[in-house]
């Protein structure tokens, strides 16, 4: 982050929430920040407030007078690493209740302000972020992308009966990237077991091939639109892939290995897939320094649109999405 905005200096920070002081060219920062794949949500921070919601309300009132906005997002920084001890970055029901309480305290002037709703592009949003118990950060941002229209930059995904966490990851990847995935198309997943991502893709009406030497969940195996190729990705016969529209890879191998395997498939003469969704595992976060070269390599396979994001549901891994054309 600091290399993309060299004049940014660390200010108040907690795990999952960083603030920076930026001297001078704030517009440069405003353009650079959304391109950093590790920033889930960003905005301009106003003031830190200590106290209960009743004490926060008057500050919010005066802040809104300066920054008239039709939307209020109330959320909190992740309390744990996602996937640890059952923690997932779902919206909590109390966030909306807190917002409704603040609106009620604000009186008639707040009528029409929407709390914790997705925001149309270009609209200003007030953010009230719970940093710690009784400590809040007040700020605002302007919705400029799909993810910045979501509360706290996390997708509107709720808890479901899933075969694995990969269900949430692929759902977020598809919502965020807006790939034009349509029912009836064909998907191939490398590293598919036990089958959370296949579960989501089957729910979307896709025809799915899961490649994995490990066992798939019986629920997925018995689905009429699913086929299990019980093998390593390197053993696939490429001429069988002519109908694949979307290639998904979630194998737990090093990024270089994932890229070698996927390159072998997507550049094969028999394969014409429209796009790919890769999970690059980062056994060491230092590998993230190579992300620009990884993206460049994916681009060289004939994908004109390549982007990456550390998804809200990602653990120590990064999601890369590529497509032949911008839908
Ligand atoms: C994180 S799990 C995948 C979770 C899965 N996507 C889901 O939705 O439940 C990683 C999987 O990669 C598989 N894997 C590792 N190396 C592989 C390879 N060379 N080819 C295919 N699968 C591989 C492992 O067997 C393991 O099941």
Q: CATH 3.40.50.150 spans which residues of the chain? A: 166-323
User: CB neighbours of 58 closer than 8 A, spacing ≥ 6?
Assistant: none
**Overall fold of domain 166-323:** Rossmann fold (3.40.50)
φ and ψ at 273, to 5 degrees?
-65, 150
Q: Which two tokens stand for residue 238?
A: 């490429």
253 lines ligand 1 (CB under 6 A): yes
- Rounded to whole angstroms, the Cα distance separating 125 from 115 reads 10
- Rounded to whole angstroms, the Cα distance separating 154 from 156 reads 7
Which atom in ligand 1 lies closest to the alpha carbon of residue 250?
Answer: 6
**Cβ atoms of 33 and 5 closer than 8 Å:** yes
210 lines ligand 1 (CB under 6 A): no
* Whether pTM exceeds 0.85: yes
pLDDT of res. 31: 72
pLDDT of res. 185: 98
Of 249, 305, 307, the closest CA to residue 281 belongs to: 249
pLDDT of res. 3: 56
Of 159, 137, 155, the closest CA to residue 146 belongs to: 155
Tell me whether residue 123 is exposed, middle or buried, using C-beta atoms within 10 angstroms of its C-beta: 0 to 12, 13 to 18, 19 or more: middle
Which atom in ligand 1 lies closest to the alpha carbon of residue 193?
Answer: 27
- Rounded to whole angstroms, the Cα distance separating 147 from 324 reads 22
Following DSSP, what letter does each residue of 224-261 receive, concatenated? TTEEEE-S-GGG--GGGGTT--EEEE--SS-HHHHHHH
pLDDT of res. 327: 60
The 8-class DSSP code of residue 325 comes to: S
> Whose Cα sits closest to atom 23 in ligand 1?
191
Categorise residue 250: left if φ over 0, alpha if ψ from -120 to 50, beta otherwise: alpha
- Rounded to whole angstroms, the Cα distance separating 45 from 128 reads 10
Q: Is 221 helix (H, G, I), strand (E, B) or coil?
A: helix
> Whose Cα sits closest to atom 15 in ligand 1?
251
**Cβ atoms of 116 and 126 closer than 8 Å:** no
- Rounded to whole angstroms, the Cα distance separating 53 from 60 reads 10
Q: How far is the CA of 167 from the centre of ligand 1 (A)?
A: 14
**Cβ atoms of 234 and 190 closer than 8 Å:** no
Which sign does the torsion angle of CA 152, 306, 258, 235 carry? positive
Q: How confident is the prediction along the chain (327 residues), in pLDDT tens digits per residue?
A: 555 677 788 899 999 999 988 877 666 667 777 778 999 999 999 999 999 999 999 999 889 888 889 999 999 999 899 999 999 999 999 999 999 999 999 888 888 899 999 999 999 999 999 999 999 999 999 999 999 999 999 999 999 999 999 999 999 999 999 999 999 999 999 999 999 999 999 999 999 999 999 999 999 999 999 999 999 999 999 999 999 999 999 999 999 999 999 999 999 999 999 999 999 999 999 999 999 999 999 999 999 999 999 999 999 999 999 999 876
- Pairing, β 135-142 against β 44-50: antiparallel
pLDDT of res. 84: 93
Angle at 275 between CA 273 and CA 280, to 5 degrees: 120
pLDDT of res. 25: 63
- Rounded to whole angstroms, the Cα distance separating 212 from 195 reads 10
152 lines ligand 1 (CB under 6 A): no
């Amino acid at each position: 982050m600091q290399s993309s905005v060299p004049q940014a200096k660390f200010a108040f920070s907690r795990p999952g929430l960083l603030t920076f002081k930026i001297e001078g060219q704030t517009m440069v920062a405003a353009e650079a920040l959304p391109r950093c794949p590790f920033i889930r949500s960003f905005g301009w921070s106003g003031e830190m407030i200590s106290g209960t919601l009743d004490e926060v309300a008057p500050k919010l009132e005066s802040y809104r007078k300066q920054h008239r906005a039709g939307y209020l997002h109330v959320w909190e920084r992740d309390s744990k690493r996602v996937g640890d001890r059952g923690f997932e970055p779902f919206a909590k029901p109390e966030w909306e209740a807190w917002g409704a309480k603040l609106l009620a305290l604000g009186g008639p002037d707040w009528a029409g302000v929407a709390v914790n709703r997705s925001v149309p592009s270009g609209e200003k949003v007030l953010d009230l972020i719970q940093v710690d118990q009784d400590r809040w950060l007040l700020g605002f941002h302007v919705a400029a992308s799909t993810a910045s229209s979501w509360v706290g930059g996390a997708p509107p995904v709720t808890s479901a009966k899933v075969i694995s966490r990969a269900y949430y990851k692929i759902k977020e990847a598809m919502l965020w990237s807006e790939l034009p995935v349509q029912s009836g198309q064909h998907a191939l997943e490398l590293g598919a077991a036990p089958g959370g991502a296949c579960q989501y893709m089957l729910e979307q009406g896709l025809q799915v091939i899961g490649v994995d030497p490990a066992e798939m969940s019986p629920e997925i195996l018995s689905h009429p639109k699913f086929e299990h190729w019980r093998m390593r990705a390197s053993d696939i016969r490429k001429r069988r892939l002519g109908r694949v529209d979307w290639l998904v890879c979630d194998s737990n191998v090093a990024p270089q290995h994932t890229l070698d395997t996927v390159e072998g498939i997507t550049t094969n003469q028999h394969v014409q897939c429209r796009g790919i969704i890769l999970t690059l595992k980062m056994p060491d976060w230092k590998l993230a320094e190579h992300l620009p070269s990884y993206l460049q390599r994916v681009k060289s396979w004939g994908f004109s649109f390549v982007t990456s994001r550390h998804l809200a549901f990602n653990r120590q891994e990064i999601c890369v999405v590529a497509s032949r054309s911008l839908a």
